[in-house]
Amino acid sequence: MHSVSVTINGSELVLETGRMAKQANGSVFATYGGGAVLATACCGSDPVEGLDYVPLQVEYNEKYYAAGKIPGGFLKREGRPKDREILVCRLIDRPMRPLFNKKFGRDIQVVPTVVGTDNINVPDVIAMNAASAAVTVSDIPFDGPIGAVRVGYVANELVINPTYEQLENSQLDIVVAGTQDGITMVEGGAQQVSEDLLIDAIEKARPTIIELCRAQVELRLAAGKSKLPIPEADDSFGPAGDIRAFAYPKLEEACFVKGKMERGAAIKAVKSEAKAQFAEAIAEEDGKKFSGLFEDMEQEIVRKSILEKKVRTDGRGPEDIRSITNEVSVLERTHGSALFTRGETQALAVVTLGNQRDAQIIDNIEEDGTESFLLHYNFPPFSVGETGRMGTGRREIGHGHLAHRALEAVIPPQSEFPYTLRVVSEILESNGSSSMATVCGGTLSLMDAGVPIPKPVAGIAMGLVTEGENYVVLSDILGEEDHLGDMDFKVAGTDEGITAFQMDIKIKNISPDVMKIALDQARRGRLHILDKMDEAITSPREELSPYAPRIISFSVDREEIGTLIGKGGATIKSVSEKHDVKINIEDDGSVTVYGSDAEAGEGAKASLLKLLEEPEVGQTYDAVVKKIVDFGAFVEYLPGKEGLVHISKMAAHRVEKVTDILQLNQEVPVRILEIDKMGRVNLGLIYDDKGGDRPRGDRGGRQHGERRDDRPRQADNAPDSESNSSE
SS3 content of the chain, % helix, strand, coil (to 5): 35, 30, 40
Helix axes 195-223, 123-137, angle to 10 degrees: 40
Does the pTM surpass 0.75? The reply is yes
Answer whether residue 702 shows pLDDT above 70: no
> Phi and psi dihedrals of 498, rounded to 5?
-85, 140
Q: What is the pLDDT of residue 499?
A: 97
Answer whether residue 695 shows pLDDT above 80: no
The closest alpha carbon to 414, from 369, 459, 458, 365, belongs to 369
- Residue 294 parent element (H or E): helix 287-304
Q: What CA–CA distance (Å, rounded) separates 354 from 362?
A: 17
Q: What is the pLDDT of residue 689?
A: 56
Q: What CA–CA distance (Å, rounded) separates 417 from 630?
A: 52
pLDDT tens for each residue of 511-558: 888 999 999 999 999 999 999 999 999 999 999 998 888 888 888 998
Average pLDDT over residues 93-109: 94
Strands (E) located in 345-410: 345-354, 360-363, 368-371, 373-378
**Hey, what's the torsion of the CAs at 192, 193, 194, 195, to 10 degrees?**
-100
> What's the chain's Rg over C-alpha atoms?
34
pLDDT tens for each residue of 248-269: 999 999 999 999 999 999 999 9
Q: What is the pLDDT of residue 374?
A: 96
Q: What is the pLDDT of residue 594?
A: 87
Answer whether residue 709 shows pLDDT above 70: no
Report residue 697's pLDDT band, with 50, 70 and 90 as the boundaries: low
Report residue 725's pLDDT band, with 50, 70 and 90 as the boundaries: very low
Q: What is the pLDDT of residue 718?
A: 37
Answer whether residue 710 shows pLDDT above 70: no
Collect all residues with Cβ–Cβ distance below 8 Å to 46 and sequence separation of at least 6: 106
Question: Does residue 46 sit in helix, strand or coil?
Answer: coil
Out of 300-314, 398-412, 635-649, pick the least confident.
Answer: 635-649
Q: Domains (ranges, CATH) in the chain?
A: 2-223 (3.30.230.70), 240-309 (1.10.10), 324-463+519-534 (3.30.230.70), 550-710 (2.40.50.140)
H helices of 21-168, in order, are 83-96, 123-137, 164-168
Angle formed at CA 705 by CA 699 and CA 707, multiple of 5 degrees: 65
Average pLDDT over residues 142-153: 96
Answer whether residue 236 shows pLDDT above 90: no
Collect all residues with Cβ–Cβ distance below 8 Å to 251 and sequence separation of at least 6: 267, 270, 294, 297, 298, 301
Report residue 673's pLDDT band, with 50, 70 and 90 as the boundaries: very high
Inter-residue contact 583 to 591 (CB < 8 Å):
yes
On the 0-12 / 13-18 / 19+ scale of CB atoms within 10 A, 39 is buried
CB atoms within 10 A of CB 19: 12
Answer whether residue 706 shows pLDDT above 60: no
Q: What CA–CA distance (Å, rounded) separates 320 from 354?
A: 40
Highest mean pLDDT among 383-387, 607-611, 636-640, 698-702: 383-387
Q: What is the pLDDT of residue 254?
A: 95
pLDDT tens for each residue of 457-488: 999 999 999 998 899 999 999 999 998 899 99
Report residue 696's pLDDT band, with 50, 70 and 90 as the boundaries: low
Q: What is the pLDDT of residue 367?
A: 74
Q: What CA–CA distance (Å, rounded) separates 591 from 585?
A: 5
Collect all residues with Cβ–Cβ distance below 8 Å to 341 and sequence separation of at least 6: 324, 325, 326, 429
CB atoms within 10 A of CB 264: 14
Answer whether residue 717 shows pLDDT above 60: no
Q: What is the pLDDT of residue 136?
A: 98
